[in-house]
Amino acid sequence: MEIQKSTGVVLSSRHIGESDYFCTIYTKEFGKRDFVFKGLRKSRRRPQIISAPGTAANLVYYFHDGKASYIVNEYNIIKHNLNIRDNLKTIYLLYYILSLIEKTTGYNDKNKAIFELVSAGIDNIAGTDFPEHFSVFFALHLLKLHGILPDFTICKICNKSDYNGFIIDTMDFHPVCTNCAGTVKNKTIPLHKTAKDFIFESLTKRFSSIDHSAYPSSHILDLLFAITLFIENYYHVEIKPKQLLLNELSG
Ligand SMILES: [Zn+2]
């Protein structure tokens, strides 16, 4: 048994027992890990905000090799996002990006770039006027960090780069131009050329440098739906906040 320290972001949490919380946290030092906060619901001194998804904190805990979760002794909160809780769009957006991280990463699989992506993502949620664009931007960068982002400049069947409308093959995420779409079995709904342009801009520019008003919301929502569908197929997971987010954004 040894004492470890980590900095992490809460991905999800639930009550266990009478007064404990079980939290899945993405740590900078060790990747995803499960932690137990004892007596949190009874404590007046210890703020329960630690268990809120999106909260960033420093943790001190006993590490046991071979244990599936660790009991936290001490923590201090670096950042929380209570300020976004009165806006459904930003709440669902937060839950969506946290779910993407939780469902696509393995335990103890350290990746500092993913930690930085999620930390920066949470910081940017509250300020953005383009939540659907932000969701797509975030998901694309996550797929890139996971090393599964294909070359979006060419149709995977005919190799042409000047394609306009396209679909995405949900088996491998490769783009297929409208002319070749008939040859693919598992595919997304047709996507507009602006979706292709937005992917290119997302991967080559900072989020704040992109002129998001040039990309109609409906085209970006179709793309968001397609990307999420691919992630669910590829990782065999369900991104639960997807439906709430899509409903809220398209409403
Ligand atoms: Zn083609």
Asked if 158 and 116 count as a contact pair (C-beta separation under 8 A), the reply is no
**How many whole angstroms from 179 Cα to the centroid of ligand 1?**
6
Residue type, 15: H
pLDDT of residue 18: 86
CATH (residue range 2-80): 2.40.50.140
pLDDT of residue 24: 98
**How many whole angstroms from 180 Cα to the centroid of ligand 1?**
4
Domain ranges of the chain: 2-80, 84-250
Q: Is pTM, for the whole model, over 0.85?
A: yes
**How many whole angstroms from 231 Cα to the centroid of ligand 1?**
23
Ligand 1 is an ion; residues with CB less than 5 A from it: 155, 157-158, 177, 180
**How many whole angstroms from 170 Cα to the centroid of ligand 1?**
16
User: How is residue 179 written in tokens?
Assistant: 């002319």
**How many whole angstroms from 80 Cα to the centroid of ligand 1?**
46
pLDDT of residue 46: 67
pLDDT of residue 83: 76
pLDDT of residue 89: 87
Residues in the chain with pLDDT values less than 70: 45-46
**How many whole angstroms from 178 Cα to the centroid of ligand 1?**
7
**How many whole angstroms from 244 Cα to the centroid of ligand 1?**
34
**How many whole angstroms from 150 Cα to the centroid of ligand 1?**
15
Distant-in-sequence, close-in-space partners of 249: CB < 8 Å, separation ≥ 6: 89, 131, 132, 135, 217, 221, 224
Compute the distance between CA of residue 118 and CA of residue 94 in angstroms, rounded to an integer. 10
**Topology of the domain covering 84-250:** de novo design (two linked rop proteins) (1.20.1440)
